[in-house]
Structures are given as C-alpha cells and as structure tokens.
A and B are shown apart, each in its own frame.
Chain A
Amino acid sequence: MSKATQVTPEENQLDARQMQQREERLFLLLSIFIGVIAGLLVVSFRMAIEWLQVLLLGSVSEPYHLRLVLIPAGIGLIIAIATRYVFPNVRGSGVNQTKAALYIHNGYISFRTVIGKFLLSALAIGSGHSLGPEDPSLQIGAGVASLISRRVGISRRKLRIFAPVGAAAGLAAAFNAPISAILFVIEEVIGQWSAAVLGSVVLSAVASVVVARSFWGAEPMFRIPEVVLRDPRELLAYAVLGLAGGIAALIFAKTIGWLHPWLRKQPSALRILQPMLAGLIVGGIGYFGFPQVMGAGYDAIDQAMHSQFTWEMLLMLAGLKIAATSISFSSGTPGGMFAPTLFIGATLGAALGMFEKKFFPGLNGSIGSYALVGMGVLFAAFLRAPLTSVFMVLEVSQNYSIVLPVILANTIAYTLSRSLQPVPIFELLTKQSGMVLPSMEEIREEDELRLEDALEPVTVPVVEDSNNVADAMQVMGQEGVVMVHCGDGRWYVMQRDEIDGSGRDTLIKELTHGERTPVLYPDLPLAKALPHLERWDLLPVISRAGGALEGVVTLPGLMKRDHNSLSGD
C-alpha cells in the first residue's frame, strides 16, 4: 500500500456506499478549509518574502551596493545545500510537481515538501533571485490539500482530486483573482473540465481569495491605470504587441529549454554551486544598474504600468529579465515563472505603448493598457494557457473594454508560439526531468469519439415483437440475427439459437422475457457501448428526437473506428 493510501479500520466495517456518502459530505467542507488555510499560508508566504527582502537587501535596492551581489549568491549556496540534503523535492516552479503528484503519486505531496517550498522559495525570491511566488503558492496549496485529506482519512480514490482543489486555492490567493486561478488549474493541471472537481475547486479558490482580500483588500494585484481602447487603429499596435510577445516568449522558452538540461548534466559538485552562481549573475545585473530585475519584480511592473521608464529602459528590463529568470530557474533554485512572465509582458507592452506615444502621437492609448495586454500576451505565449491569459487580464483590470485587444494580441502570440515551439514549456521541463505527464494542450484539444462516429447502417432484418417465430425465421436469413422492435418502443437483438426449439406460433415478445438492449444515442461516447457488447452482438442507436433507429454499433466497428482515430484517421 502506498504512503498515500489511508484505509482506516473503520472503513472495513462500513460498506462502500456509506463511505462514499461520508466522503461526499466531507468533500465540500474540506474544500472550504483547504481554501482558508491555503489563503492564510499564501499571505504569510508573500509577507515572508517581503520581510526577507527588507532584511536581506534593505528597504531600498539601489545599484552599486555590494550586498546586491553577495546576498543572492550566499543564499543561493544555502538553498542548494538545503535542496540537496533536506528538501529534495522542492526544485522547480511547483506546477509540474503538482501535476506529478496528481498523475504519478496519487495526489500525495509530503509535509516536508510544503515546508521546504515555503522556506526556500521565500528565501530565494526575498534574496533577489529572479523568480515569482505564484507557482510555489500553487504547490503549497496542493500540499495543504494533500495533507488535510490524508489526515482526515479520505479514501485513495478521492485523495487524487484534492491536489487541484488546493492548487486552485493557492494560486487564487497569490493572484488575488479566483477565476484565473480556477481556469489555470483546469487548463494546466487537470487538462479538462470535470464536474467532479469543479464545485470544490471553485469553493476553495473563492475561500482563499476571501481570506487574502481580508488582508490585502479587494484591489487587484496590480494598480491598474485607466484602461481604454480609444482608437480602433490601436488594434494594429496590439497586433504588433502580439507578435513581439510571441517572439519574446519563444526566446524565453528556448533559453530555458537549452539552459535547464545543460546545467542539470554538469557534475554533481558543480550543480550544488549553480544557485550560488545564478545569484551572482542576477545580483550582478542588479549591481550594474538594473535592480528592478531582482526578485518577483512587482514594483517594476507597477512602475512600467505607470509610465515610470523610457521605452529603451523597458526593453532593456524585458531582455534582462528573460536572462535572469532563465538562469535562476535553470539553476534549480525553487521559485516560479509566473511573476517573471508578467514582468516581461508588462515591460514589453509598456515599451510598445511608449514607442507609440513617441512616434505616433495621434494614437493615444494609455501605456497601462499596453502593459496589461502585454502581461496577458506573455502568459498566453510562454505558459501556453490562452483562456487563463484572457480572463487574467479582464479580472485584474476589472474592465471589459480591453477584451478585444487582449484576444487579438493573445491569439497572435499563442499561435506564433505554438507554431515555432510545438512543445509547451511545462511539458518540455517535464520531459527533461525524465517524467511522462499528460500534455495538457493535447488533452484540451482531444476530440472524444462518439457513437455516431462508429455508426453502421442497419443490415439485419427488423421484426415487431408481436410477430411470431415463423415470421422471424422467414426473414432471419444467413446472419442468424434479427432486431426486435418491442411494443414499448425499445429494442431487443435476437439470435437464431434463442428461437430454435420454440413453436412456430410462439410470439417473439414471449422469448424476450422483458429484456431490452440499452438505450444509446448517437452523441454518447463510444465507451458507453463497450460494457454491453459482451451481451449483445450489435446495439441499436436511436435518435433523441422520437426514438427512430439511426443505425447500429458492433464491436468490430468500434475497434475499427478507434484504430482509425489513433492512426490519425
């Protein structure tokens, strides 16, 4: 029995139905508790990062202070040692680790991993490593959910469902945006809409945001300036932003895609020094005039949104952030990529907005709008969560007038990124770590085969159940099977051996003994028919409108259809 499996002695005494009822009762209540506790932990996590930043780097990060280099390097070494000897499972952002918990470890995330993720990510981000707190928050939330559900004695079957519930809570509190968090978990962790977890995911996400907002207030994560589309010609500029964002995302993904495995295959002694070297490089960038690149970079995002930089400086910051995050992340320092992605998007967007204001004064869209759309663009193109990217911008800005630019720019960036980098970054990192997790992009786009795809025309004879055996024998022919249309409108499939030995005047309805084939409609999935094909050689498929016979499905027909779909049809 795995560590994750918790079967209490009481479980053996009660039947499955009673246990299920108990779990269903607990499920929603636990979801609220998970949301509240995850929300509190995420607020503490963010406060810990802020305090560590003040304590380690001082209240003000100004260039040319030696501590900007020494602190991230020193903390990098501590993190490397702790990661190797105390918390071996805290490397990485947290998204893939949560997916691995869900798909490989049956929803199990150890308490040690939660503690390690909290402490080491806070240390890394607080000391200036170019990483963000959102992805670790997601894993912390999932870890809390895993821990609580294990302690309460939830069955192995349900245990798996709790990880995404906690993940949504953690991310919702970190973003202060529940809808985006729910969508991200569905897009990137679960991969598909599932009614079984949706209610709990929503409940926990909302509970965690309520808790987070009781501390931070109802304001969105960023101070949003006036967001408005003033001139339809600006859509052209947003399209350019989509292109630029797609290219930036590609550079970012390619850099990590190359650097991450290259650093991992270095000798063990060198690997332990990598977080320190990463700290040295990121600190160096800060030391030589760009401290904005250090840490999560929320202040710089805010400044970019409020026109505090020139467009040249903004472009420089975007480029340096790509480099700094690639190095910090690839070195194995625990921390996320959401905040850096938003940073790159905001600076790129603001740069384009500034450029437009400078060279095309006739188009006077606000710089904040460009920065905001830029964040969505990078989210769509780099993290490859297109739906989340749109809702994130709408939720953060609380303004629907920006929806058109967001959709335009995000679609361009997403399409460009998909065609130039077919494997999404999370999937790439999974493969580089030697794991095989389902591709969320593929799951999202999977087209489920339905009965209508395997439907065959009715070639067997059809008789009414008011006919007698003689009538059936007459039409049966070589196939030895007839479809019986029963008086109640349903169907029965009769084999020759069921008729043999019966009197010629016996009515067919007497031979069916009230049994009927299952009611199948063309829109049902193929899997619905499979369990019944052991009993029936063929199954009638009827229309939902009036119950007219549409065709039949057979096992060879289903197998053929499934094979075709696997081989690309």
Chain B
Amino acid sequence: MTDKEQNDILEQWLAQYKSLIFKIVRSYAFTAMDREDLFQEISLQVWRSVPSFRGECAVTTWLYRVSLNTAIRFSQRERKRSENRADLNDSHQILLEADAHHDQRLEWLYGEISKLNAIDKSITLLMLEDFSYREMASIVGITETNIGVRINRIKKLLIEKSKKHDLHGV
C-alpha cells in the first residue's frame, strides 16, 4: 500500500467517523493542548493501522480499538510537556473548536465520564455507542460477563449522580 492510498483512507475515515474520535479525545484529555496531542497521536496510530485492516470487523470497531488503546496509554504515560509545546508551536492548530451548541447535560456527562478510571471510561464510551456485549468484549479483551457487571455498575452510578445533579445542581 502506498503512502497516498494510506492517507486517502485515513482522510475518508476521518471525514466519516470524526465524531467517534472527538468523543474519545474529549473523554481522555482535558486541556486544549492535551486534546490536540491525543488527536494527533490517535490519527497517527489509525494511519499506521490502515494496512492491517482486513475488513474482518466494522470500521467503527476497528477505530474504537485503535483509538481507545492509544487513549488509555496516553492517559497513563508521562508526557513531556515542553516537547509537546514545541511541536505545537512548530505547526498550525489541527483541532479547531466548532461553533456548536453547548448542551449543559452533555458537559455534565463528559464531566462524569472523566472521573471514571481509564478502563471504565472506555466501556462507557462503547456502551453509549450501542456496541453489543460481544463486540465490547472483543475490543477490550475481557469476558462478556465482566463487561455486563461493569456496565451495570457504571449505569447505576451515572443515574444516581444525575439525580443528585438534578436535585441540587451539583
């Protein structure tokens, strides 16, 4: 596969599934700089993964797999802040804030997701994207029962917190 073909596929995937990557970026990175950095890292890993994609699963499953693995490792590793800053100064900004309507409930949901640990965060994202237990198990690499247990716990937690939020606005 030539570099051009690889670039074309990446662009096509980004055009079609960019929302998916934005959601992951927003859930795992909390400053504009980190989001920019994580988005670049995910794009690079997706680009690298293009030749390995054999069409054995849906593109969305593939993108989630590559992006979540990258995001989890990103949130764990110690980042060299000065190096990132230098990278950003060298290039133009890649992620430009869209003039989208800001829904407070969405802000709240992201806030709650950000408080979860890296693994539960991934499962929550997959759950909100309507992946089946089987698909989630194949992406995460744990049993469907384990996925079920975690999902029940996360749902219960989110619903309880939303009730508190509705009652007290906190």
- Do A and B form a real pair? no
